[in-house]
Each structure stands twice: as structure tokens, then as C-alpha cells.
Amino acid sequence: MIRIGCGSAFERDRLDWPVRLANSGVVDHMAFDCLAERSMALNQLRKLEDPNAGYIQRLETPAVGFDVRLPKIVREFAPFVASGGTMVGNFGAANPEGAGAAVVDGLREADVTGVKVAVITGDDVMEQVLKQDVYLPEHGCKISEMSERIVSANAYIGAEPIVEALEQGATFILGGRLADPSPYVGPICFRNNWQLDDWEKVGLATLAGHLLECGPHVSGGNFTDPPFNLVPDMMEIGFPWAEVDGDRIVVSKTPGTGGLVSTKTVRLQIGYEISDPASYLTPDVTADFSQVAVRQVGPDRVEVVGASGRARPDTLKVLVGLDLGWKVTVEMSYGGPSCVERAQFAAELLEARARTALGSEILEWHSDLVGMTSLFGDAISRGYPAEVRMRVAARTASKAAAQTIFDEGDYIPISGPAAGGGRGAMALVRAIGVTPALLDRSDVPLHVEVLQS
């Protein structure tokens, strides 16, 4: 049996709650999913600006009381690693080698030596997709027709290299675009001695990973919906963990914490972002969750059975990162009589001034009134509000054009319409898009290198 806990659900997830889980003594493995869809492209841009960057930024932060830079995750989880706990995650993003070096240095700074750190590489498939001129279905064209915009191409990789690293004795394992459930699938299959072509078992391991990968979603966070679904003690939601063995999963949360693990929270997470529950495609398996059953077996303990699977896909999904220029947002609040009309006029005035100055440099323009039209448009009738917030978002070909819109938004409170205030949430950033493609599995060779602290 393995007891495995969630360490993070996204790149900037909080660490105090999962650290409490790691130090509770109830888990011997922690898995971390750090990468949203745009994360690879954004980290690739960081790496282009600095070849030593490109991995998860929160790996590095100034250590309290030290002049050196100590990776934060390593510092926080050093006691867990020192006690024999295993860490697996896609901390590497666009630079797994750099992440591996940072982890080794951090462990040494924390006086944790002798730990084998495995670095998984091979998910960066930029060379392959360019050479093969792969098709981009969302854009209806070959990659060569957009080659000047391509900033990254990373394949979603699975549990195979994780198991290989565990077989070599590694206890801190990191890679680039490891698929979301795979940092769980690898340790679960390894510890239970399940073969990676035993599709039924891998399907069960994938469901365990799917239940845990979103952090406190399954322990009450995504279930809370006052006044209908109430969850006790939301001040500190316990991070989830699971026992996995035989043909069942038992999901729970950090002892002594708030939140809730119930059949309802588990059912909600089972259906989260999987499209077809009978054919959930991952690099490890075509998982089948359609026959899953859940049962409360104790306070904050839910048994899950019935997961299965079929052979994994022959192809791997590749996420291609696109440089789409720059995006800028401008927000302004209006209140009292005529607030809706003034806010609408402000949005129209800002657009007119921007288009006069920039013309075709504006690639996209969107405006809405938060509290009136931002979510449902005109589909839901409503009364006249006491206040409303104007929001404009635009995408431009150049940073200079985005700056022009930003500046025009800054002028609005002075140049009118009347009584606009509370300007904020104004931002000017690179516009990074992502689009999927496919590569044959044989075109994505993976490599595991083991370092030592």
C-alpha cells in the first residue's frame, strides 16, 4: 500500500497546508502539479531571457536568515525528504536541468545529503514538431505557417521515467511537462509493483492522481457554495491524500484540519475536466471512470472503487506555445445615478481614442461591465446597479501599442466621463497562447539523470 499526498495544484500554490500534510506522518510520498497550460510557454520566455531560468520560480527565494538563495520548496520539505519521504513533480517546466541543480544545492544548504535527485528530460519537442511540420488543428494549418510565433513545444509525458527514477533509488524526482496525474501514477504503480501495461491498475492509479492533483478541490474547496453546500472551518482546508492498494482508493485529508472529504466532494472532483469519463486520455492509459462507485467509510474518508482502463494512446499531446503579442487591461469604477451609462461611455471613448491612434495594431478588443455584462451578457435580466466596474482588455502587435492603450486608460479619470475612480488591475503583459498538436510516442525519447545531494 502507498500513502500519497498532494503538494500543489498550480505553480504558485500555497505551501503551508501541504507542508503540514507532509509533516503529519500519514504520507510517505508527495506529488506536485505545478504547470497550467500557459506555464510552459511563459517559462520558455523566461529561459530565453535568462538561460539559467525557466523552471518553477518558487523553487528559488531568499532564505530567511541567510545571505544565500535557498530553494523554498526544498527548504520547506527538507525534513520530509530527510526522513525518507519521496517528492515527485513537474518543477522543471522549461528547464529541468536548472531545476535539478537548484534542488541539489538547496538540499545541501539544508544539510540534507545523500539524497538521489532524478531529472527527467525529453519533453521539449520543439525540434521534432518543426522538422515534421505538425498540424495545428485549432488553427487549421501546419506549424510552418506560424513558425515565427512559436516559442515552445512540450509533450505531455507519463509515469515511465518516474518509475525508472524510483528503481534507481531517487527520492526527489522532477521533470518538465509531466502530465497532471502522472507524478501520482508513477509512485503508486512502483510501490504496489503494478506493471505500466496493466491498464486496469494504471486506470485506478490515474483516478487517484486525478482526485488529488487539484489540491483542496476534493477536500471541500471546490464544493463550498454558501448557503447550499457548507464546509466546516474554511480557514485551513486540509490538503488531500490517498491510500491506494488492491482495487481501491481511500481519500482523506490532513488530520486536524478544516474542510470536508465526502462522497459529494469526491464525485464532484471525479468529473472535473475529463471530457469523456469512459475515455480519459493520458500518456499512461485510456482511463475509464464510468463505473466508479464511492462510499463513506469514516469521517473524512471516502473509498473509491471501479476505475479501469484500456491501452494508452499511440500519440502524445504536445502543447505548442505561441507569442501573440501583448495584452493590456484597464478597469475603472463608477457609482450612483447614471453609473452604467458613464461606464459604457468610458469604454467606448477609450476604444475610439485607441483605434484612432493605433488602427490595425489592435488585434483584439473586448469590453464589459462587471456586475452587468461580464459573465452572462444580456441573458439574465437585472435591476439597475448602485455601482459598476468598466473593464477593457485588448491584444496588440507591439508593446508600444499596448502602452498607448494603458496610457489612455490612465487619462480617463481626468478627461472624463465624470466620477470614474478606483482605477486598478491595469496590466500590460506578453500575450502567450497555447494550442495542441500530436506526436507519435516514438518521437519523444526520454532520459533520466540521477544527481546526488
Domain ranges in the chain with CATH number 3.30.70.100? 320-436
Closest residue by Cα to residue 95 from 52, 133, 57, 130: 52
- How many whole angstroms separate alpha carbon 153 and alpha carbon 148? 13
pLDDT in the model for residue 67: 44
pLDDT in the model for residue 88: 98
* Segments of 59-115 assigned E as strands: 61-62, 69-70, 86-89
pLDDT in the model for residue 40: 84
Q: What is the mean pLDDT of residues 391-396?
A: 96
Per-residue model confidence as pLDDT tens digits over 88-122: 999 999 999 999 999 999 999 999 999 999 999 99
Are the beta carbons of 253 and 240 closer than 8 angstroms? Answer: yes
Q: What is the mean pLDDT of residues 24-35?
A: 96
Per-residue model confidence as pLDDT tens digits over 318-347: 999 999 999 999 999 999 999 999 999 999
pLDDT in the model for residue 424: 65
Residues forming a β-bridge with 119? 174, 449
Q: How many CB atoms lie within 10 A of CB 237?
A: 23
Say if residue 351's pLDDT is above 50.
yes
Helix (H, G, I), strand (E, B) or coil at 317: strand
Say if residue 382's pLDDT is above 60.
yes
Q: What is the mean pLDDT of residues 238-264?
A: 97
Are the beta carbons of 208 and 242 closer than 8 angstroms? Answer: yes
**Mean pLDDT lowest for which of 190-194, 280-284, 372-376, 400-404?**
372-376
Residue 157: phi and psi, rounded to 5, are: -110, 160
Q: What is the mean pLDDT of residues 362-385?
A: 91
pLDDT in the model for residue 63: 45
**Mean pLDDT lowest for which of 47-56, 94-103, 396-405, 422-431?**
422-431
- How many whole angstroms separate alpha carbon 368 and alpha carbon 359? 21
DSSP codes joined into one string, 26-65: S-SEEEE----TTHHHHHHHHHHH-TT--S-GGG-EEPTT
pLDDT in the model for residue 381: 83
Task: Kindly indicate whether the domain formed by 320-436 is annotated with CATH number 3.30.70.100.
Answer: yes
Would you state the cell numbers that stand for residue 400, as one nine-digit string? 508600444
Amino acid (one-letter) located at 73: I
Say if residue 375's pLDDT is above 80.
yes
Are the beta carbons of 89 and 7 closer than 8 angstroms? Answer: yes
CA dist list (Å): 8 to 2, 14, 81, 318, 405: 19, 7, 16, 23, 36
Say if residue 65's pLDDT is above 70.
no
Confidence of residue 32 (pLDDT cuts 50, 70, 90): very high
Helix (H, G, I), strand (E, B) or coil at 116: strand
Would you state the cell numbers that stand for residue 415, as one nine-digit string? 478627461
**pLDDT > 70 in the chain, percent:** 97
Per-residue model confidence as pLDDT tens digits over 278-314: 999 999 999 999 999 999 999 999 999 999 999 999 9
Say if residue 4's pLDDT is above 80.
yes
Q: Report the predicted TM-score, pTM, of the whole model to 2 decimal places.
A: 0.93
Considering the chain, what is the average pLDDT of its residues? 93
Q: What is the mean pLDDT of residues 169-198?
A: 98
Say if residue 432's pLDDT is above 60.
yes
Confidence of residue 408 (pLDDT cuts 50, 70, 90): very high
pLDDT in the model for residue 69: 52
Tell me how far the alpha carbon of residue 210 is from its chain's centroid.
Answer: 13
- How many whole angstroms separate alpha carbon 395 and alpha carbon 328? 7
**Mean pLDDT lowest for which of 13-27, 58-72, 217-231, 429-443?**
58-72
Helix (H, G, I), strand (E, B) or coil at 145: helix
The helices-and-strands tally (H runs, E runs) of the chain is: 11, 22
Amino acid (one-letter) located at 154: N
Q: What is the mean pLDDT of residues 212-229?
A: 94
pLDDT in the model for residue 71: 62
- How many whole angstroms separate alpha carbon 53 and alpha carbon 34? 16
Say if residue 45's pLDDT is above 90.
no
Indicate the length of the chain as a whole number: 453
Confidence of residue 175 (pLDDT cuts 50, 70, 90): very high
Tell which wins on pLDDT, 17 or 70.
Answer: 17
Residue 288: phi and psi, rounded to 5, are: -125, 110
pLDDT in the model for residue 64: 46
Q: Are strands 2-8 and 29-32 parallel, antiparallel or unpaired?
A: parallel
Q: How many CB atoms lie within 10 A of CB 413?
A: 17
pLDDT in the model for residue 360: 95
Residues forming a β-bridge with 369? 390
Say if residue 36's pLDDT is above 90.
no
- How many whole angstroms separate alpha carbon 344 and alpha carbon 2? 57
Residue carrying the nine cell digits 513545444: 153
Amino acid (one-letter) located at 240: P
Question: Containing H/E element for 79?
Answer: helix 72-82
- How many whole angstroms separate alpha carbon 77 and alpha carbon 281? 32
